[in-house]
Amino acid sequence: MDRLSRVPIFVAVARHGSFAEAARRLGMTGSAISKQIQRLETDLGTRLFHRTTRQLSLTDEGSFLFERSAPLIDGIEEVGEILAGRKVRPEGSLRLSAPIALAQRILKEPLTAFAGKYPLVSLHVELSDRLVDLVGEGFDLAVRIGHLEDSSLVARRLSDVPMVLVGAPILLAEYGVPTSPNTLSSIPFIHYGSERGSQKLQFHKEGQDPIQIPTEARLSTNNDQIMVSFACAGEGLIVLPRFMVESELDQGRLREVLPDFRPFPERKLYAVFPHGRHLPLKTRVLIDFLIEELGH
């Protein structure tokens, strides 16, 4: 086996973080995988992995090799799948990244239905509120709320994400129910993801230009569930996707404020994937499935 033949083995180990898992997926033994990695390191004259009894991680040189070789290996595998005729049915490993609350409240039922409908697809769903590096971390697809910032990614809109301004009855009883966005400046807010006490929020009413309102917050967090807890206790108003506060609204723990106005800009739900790559059938089918399910 030459150096080039060892690179796909290296990519599999780096992607799965384990000799054993790479061996299982490649149909090799763990000792054979280890031997090929050692020979590749000898060929290249550098160490590719930090090895301990509990953890395997890439060195800087290993990360450099993975970032440049993984897309090439993926492309070769995709061409092989097409030439072998596998494009006629979805199959193979599919890695998806999604925010925690979104997956728990919106995606779990569609993904469960997808898994049942396409048993040949090995779906791995990893939940995280951080923006994962799709290529570097080996994800086929990510589902995100907002707008696309990374120009190296392509997005397909899955659905709209209605945003709402809500507060607890106890807070509204103390400060009064706002009648226009201009009255929001006198009411405390709970801000998402920023430790700044002051933030400017925009609200839009159909047929009118967006209104920018300065808001003040004593509390802030990067976790939506903490925001909801603070809000239910009457600590401030919050702006979140409606699906994140649906049960609290139904139970009367929170009330929608200024329902004729919408937080601006409006959010969308996107499926994002690396630019310039041929999308395997399994990925395209999942995207189409989510569009169909979430559109309802």
Q: Angle at which helices 3-16 and 19-26 pack, to 10 degrees?
A: 120
Nearest to 203 by CA among 193, 215, 213, 195: 213
Q: Give residue 109's pLDDT.
A: 94
Residue 239 tokens read as 């702006």
Tens digit of pLDDT per residue, the chain (296 long)?
A: 677 889 999 998 998 888 888 888 888 888 899 999 999 999 999 999 988 777 788 999 999 999 888 888 877 776 666 666 555 678 889 999 999 888 988 999 999 999 999 999 999 999 988 888 887 788 889 999 876 665 567 888 898 888 999 999 999 999 999 999 989 989 999 998 776 778 888 898 888 888 899 998 989 998 888 999 999 999 999 999 998 999 999 999 999 999 999 888 888 899 998 775 567 888 989 999 999 998 75
Beta strands in 141-266 (DSSP E): 141-146, 153-161, 163-167, 189-192, 198-204, 211-221, 238-241, 255-256, 262-264
Residue 268 tokens read as 């969308």
Identity (one letter) of the amino acid at 65?
L
Contact between 70 and 14 under an 8 Å Cβ cutoff? The reply is yes
Q: Give residue 236's pLDDT.
A: 95
Burial status of residue 192 (CB atoms within 10 A of its CB: 0-12, 13-18, 19 or more) = middle
User: Rounded to whole angstroms, how far apart are CA atoms 140 and 65?
Assistant: 19
Domains, the chain, in order of start with CATH, read 3-68 (1.10.10.10), 86-160+268-294 (3.40.190.10), 163-266 (3.40.190.10)
User: Rounded to whole angstroms, how far apart are CA atoms 118 and 175?
Assistant: 53
Q: Give residue 150's pLDDT.
A: 57
User: Rounded to whole angstroms, how far apart are CA atoms 65 and 73?
Assistant: 12
Cα–Cα separations (whole angstroms), residue 50 to 16, 62, 200: 14, 9, 46
Burial status of residue 131 (CB atoms within 10 A of its CB: 0-12, 13-18, 19 or more) = middle
User: Rounded to whole angstroms, how far apart are CA atoms 101 and 8?
Assistant: 35
